[in-house]
Amino acid sequence: MAGDLRRYALANARVRGLLSTLLGRSGLESLCTYPSTAAALDALAHTPYGGTVDALATSDHGFLNRLGEVGRTVVNVLHDPERAFVRQYLLHHEVRSLKVIIRGIARRLPRQDLLAFLVAWPGVSTVAPAELAAAADLRDLVERLGDTPYATAMRAALHRVDTAGPFALEVALEIDYYERLWANAATLRPTDRHRAQRLLGILFDILNLAWISRYHALQLSPEEILNYTLRQGCWITPDIRRFLAEDHGAAWPAALTRTPYAGLLNDASARGFDAAAVALWRLLAGEVQRTLAGYPFHIGVPLGFLLAQEIEIRDLRILLAAKAIAVPPAQILEHLATVRQ
Amino acid sequence: MLSPEPMRHLTVVVLASELEATTRAIARVGVLHLLDVRSAIEPLAPIRPYDIGEQVGRLETLAKMLDELMRYLDLAPPEVGDLPDVSPALDLQAVEARVDALARDAQALRQRQRVAADQAVQIENLLRNVRALAPLGMPLDELRRLRYIYLTSGLLPERNLLRLHESLARIPHVIVPTGRAGADGRILVTALCLRQQRETLERAVRSAQLEAVALPAHLSGTPETVTAELQAQLKTNQEARAAIDAERQALAQQIGDEARALRRLVERDRLLVEAQRHMAHSDRIALIAGWLPAVLAATLERAIRQANGNRCVIRWADPATMEAVRGGRIPVPILLHNPVLIRPFERLLRGYGLPRYGEVEPTAIIAVAFLTMFGFMFGDVGQGLVLFGIGYFIYRRMFRYRDYAVILMECGVFATLFGCLYGTVFGSERWLPALWLRPMEEVGRLVQTAIAFGIGFLSIGLILNLVNVVRRHDLSLLWERNGILAALAYWTAVGLFIRQLTGGPGTVTAGTAILWLSIPIGLILLKEPVRTLLTAARERRWPSASDCVALVVESLVEVLDTVVSGISNTATFIRLAAFALSHAGLFLATFSVADAVARSDGATGTIGAALVIIAGNVVIIALEGLIVAIQSVRLEYYEFFSKFYSGGGEEYRPLRFGATQSIRP
């Protein structure tokens, strides 16, 4: 207990401060009421997202910068191994940038076109995406990644690029990243490990459900689906995963009966997975909320805050996109996952 | 000695076109601690910071490329302690082109090396594969023609092994890993299933990233003959790789000096460009600001004027006259300036934080106090000389640890001096007479001396606090914690205590003590209420009843804190005597064991006893020496520093080519 206090007193205080910078459900609801995207952006400029609004005109970099800023703040108030874990968590944006580069190189897009989609956060990032984007081809990209874990993962999949295209590298990169993140969580102290793997487990479940649904749409075989999804998770056991990989959706509710996801995806086959997935994100947001409300000195607080921040950014993107095509506020609200008031 | 080096503030206005030459001159002299210009001057609209992001990025890329190149060629990194000072600034484009050319040469070599290494891995994998199939006792051609079994083998990332098993759960299959994973985390596996389920297996192994290691069609015959053939290929490959490595070494010889020189130039330029982060400019002029030791002001001014042909405006200011310094907006950097024997103790000070400019710089005091306390607790002529010897050895042989070596030698000297006072040599009291006392025989005097030392040491702390108040020109601090009232209370109590000790029992009655102590304690008690009342009278806003109660409670707590900390801070110095006794006690224990051993047998007993004494001395030097050093540091940090020292000063780090160490005028 005293150890927890020592490790997390500062982090907890800082995160409590940062939590007040989130808009929350009520903030998002009031943004929904603005008549246009411009008006919503105007309103957003007077929130802690103020600094991001200018950048939003060209891409959603502004949001990512905001995330990088708060991420760095959180990382700086933690000690190792918690610091290393949270930093590793934030690196999923680096993985996202690498995926952009892989796709760009495979499609022979000019480097200039890629730069707007790449993020590098000083103090968090481990590679320089802007430099990597100058790679001549995918092999050169792997070389430029040097001795990073990304290079190891991608090198093992390079031989498949000719037959499977850049997808082979993307999936190898992503799965490797999440497995390392899970392994990193396992290095935390037992209480922290439990809390971190609980939150990550739900996130992994959501990712797995989304990926399985997408792979079915791409008509991949069950073997491929199982190899392209995460073995770890919270509620989705290997048996459930195998069942989901073999079934095309109609029997999913039955397979998920013993999980909290039961009932949440009932209409997935009718509305499409992405539309139905908001319920899953809400479930994660609810778990984050519970984590933040309980005993304050553990890894769940910084990790939960970052998840809450990401969910809010997801909602803001949806909100602004919906405003741009004049979707009525009530309909926008249906797609928002934030639950924190 | 009790103050940091006096500093002066410099502001330079130069033509923007001459900034580079001026910065170079400043770095060459190497005494200016740069200050963010915008914090040093009133905001002016046309003044803006330099946008150096792109240039720094390019230089960092160059540095990274050169580091990578030198790593590949096994070239020792260049010393950055002495960066070249050549003019003009780097032609970045030319350097980039040259570094690109060097990197290309190395890249071509590396590519060939990689291909050869890949080939070696390929052959080794084939070898492993063939050896794994050898127990089947079948020629490879027959294995290729299996009718009911489908077999594939290849390299699989080891962490995907379980994943592959899971994905094949619906068909009967066998997966045989061979050997251990290589450096790339991949393991050689052979997977088998019924031929009719071949497609399922193929899909699974493909998606698990298995890279097939096919048995090439040209490999035929029994596993033994194929193994021999592959071993011959491996040998040829090894020879090819050795030849490439020789080329790599030749290239290192050929371009090594150039690469190192370029690396140093890039480092130099990065230093100059990054210095601009602190500067600002308008269209025509550039501004530089910073601090430097006052004694070096003329030297720097001369260098700056020479660099830009006197086309500049230079303004000097003393920290005391600067409003921004007095208001705490700009910190003045601290350059410690102590004699060589005391300098190593600056580390002790840095451990707590540097003093703020204008405050007392107590390195000399803590050095003397540390050594005295160490000697007091560790007094022994023999062990002192051993410590001195170890310190001297480190001083001569290990340059990096010279500071510690000096401390160790000084500790040795003080331990020897106190050893003479105690009359002990390696714990033996037979060889020297005690010039002062023998610790185990006069415990009372030892304790009294320790407490007297503590009182003196704490009093110095209280006096230094008063000196700091005067130096800060803020008399309100006089009434704060450990201020004049706490000092008065402490010294009154000490005076009464001494009088009682020297005058005999009954000299100081309880009534007298209470009467005398009530004066400073009463003042502490009344301090806050009086201050509050004066403020209230001035502002005509009277405090509420609850505020008054809080005020009284606060004053009572302060009185309690002053009394308790005064007693405990003094009493804690008894540990000096306690550790001096434990030092003597450990010797006693060592000699008792040695005596017991000596009595056992003739010659063996004598040798055993000598060994026990030697081992005992080694343990005492190592263990007690460490404990005593820790206790000395503890007494300084907790008892002494808490009286007057706050730390928080900024270290003086001048812009200079190469080194970052502080300079001493």
pLDDT tens-digit series, residues B132-141: 667 666 777 7
Angle between helix B223-275 and helix B19-29 axes, rounded to 10 deg: 100
pLDDT at B80: 62
Within 8 A of A221 by CB-CB distance, chain B residues are 200, 203
* Phi, psi of A135, deg, nearest 5: -60, 140
pLDDT at B190: 84
Q: What is the DSSP letter of B542?
A: P
**Measured distance CA(A107)–CA(A166) in Å, rounded:** 9
**Do the chains contact at B166 and A226, CB–CB below 8 Å?**
yes
Q: Are B208 and B226 in contact (CB under 8 A)?
A: no
Q: What is the DSSP letter of B476?
A: G
Look-up of token digits 């047998």 = B601
Closest CA of chain A from B212, distance in Å: 9
| Residue B183, number of CB atoms within 10 A of its CB | 7
pLDDT at B659: 54
Q: What is the DSSP letter of B344?
A: G
pLDDT at B185: 83
Tokens of A316: 């803001």
Q: What b/e sequence results for A84-108 when a residue is b if at least 16 CB atoms lie within 10 Å of its CB, and e otherwise?
A: ebbbbbbbebbbbbbbbbbbbbbee
pLDDT at B660: 43
3-state secondary structure of B423: coil
pLDDT at B664: 38
Over its length of 341 residues, how does chain A's per-residue pLDDT go in tens digits? 556 666 777 778 788 888 888 888 888 888 888 888 888 888 888 888 776 766 665 566 778 888 888 888 888 888 888 889 999 999 988 899 999 999 998 888 888 888 878 888 887 888 888 888 888 888 888 888 887 889 888 988 888 888 888 899 999 999 999 999 999 999 888 888 998 999 999 999 999 998 998 898 888 999 999 999 999 998 888 888 988 888 766 677 778 888 888 777 777 666 667 777 888 898 899 989 888 887 888 889 899 999 999 999 888 888 888 888 888 888 888 888 888 77
Q: Which of B107, B209, B213 to mutate to test the interface with A (most CBs of A within 10 A)?
A: B209
pLDDT at A248: 64
Tokens of B6: 């006096």
Within 8 A of B203 by CB-CB distance, chain A residues are 221, 223-224
Tell the CATH topology of B1-49+279-335: Alpha-Beta Plaits (3.30.70)
Strands B48-49 and B280-281: antiparallel
Look-up of token digits 């299996």 = B146
Q: What is the DSSP letter of B439?
A: T
pLDDT at B661: 37
Q: Are A150 and A173 in contact (CB under 8 A)?
A: yes
| Residue ranges of chain A whose CB lies within 8 Å of a chain B CB | 131, 152-153, 155-157, 159-160, 163-164, 168, 172, 179, 221-224, 226-228, 231, 238, 242, 246
Among residues B73, B130, B124, the alpha carbon closest in space to that of B237 is found at B124
Q: What is the mean pLDDT of residues B541-563?
A: 83
- The one-letter code for the residue type at A289 is Q
Residue B316 has pLDDT above 50, yes or no: yes
Closest CA of chain B from A179, distance in Å: 9
**Do the chains contact at A224 and B186, CB–CB below 8 Å?**
no
HEC sequence for B96-148: HHHHHHHHHHHHHHHHHHHHHHHHHHHHHHHHHHHHHHHHHCCCHHHHHCCCC
**Measured distance CA(A100)–CA(A102) in Å, rounded:** 6
- The one-letter code for the residue type at B291 is W
Domain boundaries, chain A: 82-187
| Residue B298, number of CB atoms within 10 A of its CB | 9
Q: Are B10 and B314 in contact (CB under 8 A)?
A: yes
| Residue ranges of chain B whose CB lies within 8 Å of a chain A CB | 61, 155, 157, 159-160, 162-164, 166-170, 184-186, 200, 203-204, 206-209, 211
| Residue B430, number of CB atoms within 10 A of its CB | 7
**Do the chains contact at B157 and A226, CB–CB below 8 Å?**
no
Q: Are B319 and B325 in contact (CB under 8 A)?
A: yes
**Measured distance CA(A280)–CA(A264) in Å, rounded:** 7
DSSP H or E stretch at residue B176 = strand B173-178
Closest CA of chain B from A216, distance in Å: 15
Bond prior to B88 in cis (omega within 30° of 0): yes
Q: What is the mean pLDDT of residues B327-337?
A: 87
Q: What is the mean pLDDT of residues B154-177?
A: 87
- Given strand B149-157, what is the order of strands in its sheet? B173-178, B186-194, B149-157, B211-212
Domain boundaries, chain B: 1-49+279-335, 51-121+232-270, 138-221, 474-571
**ipTM entry:** 0.83
**Measured distance CA(A18)–CA(A12) in Å, rounded:** 10
Within 8 A of A179 by CB-CB distance, chain B residues are 159
Tokens of B8: 């002066």
Q: Note the helical H segments in A186-218.
A: 190-217
- Which of B163, B184, B200 comes nearest A231 by C-beta? B163
**Measured distance CA(B178)–CA(B128) in Å, rounded:** 8
Cα separation values, B590 from B45, B383, B580, B583, B596, Å: 77, 14, 16, 11, 10
Domains B1-49+279-335 and B138-221 share a fold: yes
Within 8 A of B167 by CB-CB distance, chain A residues are 222-224, 226-227
**Measured distance CA(B20)–CA(B26) in Å, rounded:** 10
**Measured distance CA(A60)–CA(B71) in Å, rounded:** 39
Q: Are A339 and A25 in contact (CB under 8 A)?
A: yes
**Do the chains contact at B170 and A222, CB–CB below 8 Å?**
yes
Q: What b/e sequence results for B192-205 when a residue is b if at least 16 CB atoms lie within 10 Å of its CB, and e otherwise?
A: bbeeebeebbbbbb
Tokens of B561: 């804190």
DSSP string, B252-305: HHHHHHHHHHHHHHHHHHHHHHHHGGG-EE-SSEEEEEEEEEGGGHHHHHHHHH
Q: Are B153 and B212 in contact (CB under 8 A)?
A: yes
Q: Are A199 and A300 in contact (CB under 8 A)?
A: yes
What architecture does CATH give domain A82-187? Up-down Bundle (1.20)
Closest CA of chain B from A152, distance in Å: 6
Tokens of B112: 């060939």
Closest-CA residue of A relative to B61 is A131
Q: What is the mean pLDDT of residues B250-271?
A: 88
pLDDT at B301: 94
pLDDT at A1: 52
- The one-letter code for the residue type at B372 is T
Q: Which of B152, B159, B165, B202 to mutate to test the interface with A (most CBs of A within 10 A)?
A: B159
Tens of pLDDT, residue by residue over B194-210, are 888 888 998 999 899 88
pLDDT at A332: 86
**Dihedral over Cα of A36, A39, A43, A45: its sign:** positive
Angle between helix B603-619 and helix B574-600 axes, rounded to 10 deg: 160
**Measured distance CA(A247)–CA(A254) in Å, rounded:** 11
C-alpha B556: how far from its chain's center? 42
**Measured distance CA(A54)–CA(A66) in Å, rounded:** 12
Among residues A308, A328, A341, A326, the alpha carbon closest in space to that of A74 is found at A308
Domain B138-221 class in CATH? alpha beta
Q: pTM for the complete prediction?
A: 0.57
Question: Which has the minimum average pLDDT: A158-162, B256-260, B359-363, B598-602?
Answer: B598-602
Most distant CA pair in chain B, distance: 115
HSE toward the beta carbon, residue B541, CA cutoff 13 A = 3
- Which of A221, A222, A227 comes nearest B208 by C-beta? A227
Q: Are A318 and A28 in contact (CB under 8 A)?
A: no
**Measured distance CA(B630)–CA(B640) in Å, rounded:** 15
Q: Checking phi first, is residue B113 left (phi over 0); if not, alpha (psi -120 to 50) or beta?
A: alpha
**Do the chains contact at A231 and B162, CB–CB below 8 Å?**
yes
Closest-CA residue of A relative to B212 is A159
| Residue B433, number of CB atoms within 10 A of its CB | 8
**Measured distance CA(B12)–CA(B23) in Å, rounded:** 11
Contact partners, residue A247, CB within 8 Å, separation at least 6: A255
Contact partners, residue B457, CB within 8 Å, separation at least 6: B369, B573, B635, B639, B640
Within 8 A of A164 by CB-CB distance, chain B residues are 206
HSE toward the beta carbon, residue B459, CA cutoff 13 A = 14
Tens of pLDDT, residue by residue over B467-489, are 988 887 777 777 887 888 889 99
Cα separation values, B108 from A134, B67, B249, Å: 18, 17, 14
| Residue B161, number of CB atoms within 10 A of its CB | 16
Tens of pLDDT, residue by residue over B338-397, are 999 999 999 888 888 899 888 899 999 999 999 999 999 999 999 999 999 999 999 999
**Measured distance CA(A304)–CA(A288) in Å, rounded:** 5
pLDDT at B152: 84
Closest CA of chain A from B17, distance in Å: 31
Residue B87 has pLDDT above 70, yes or no: no
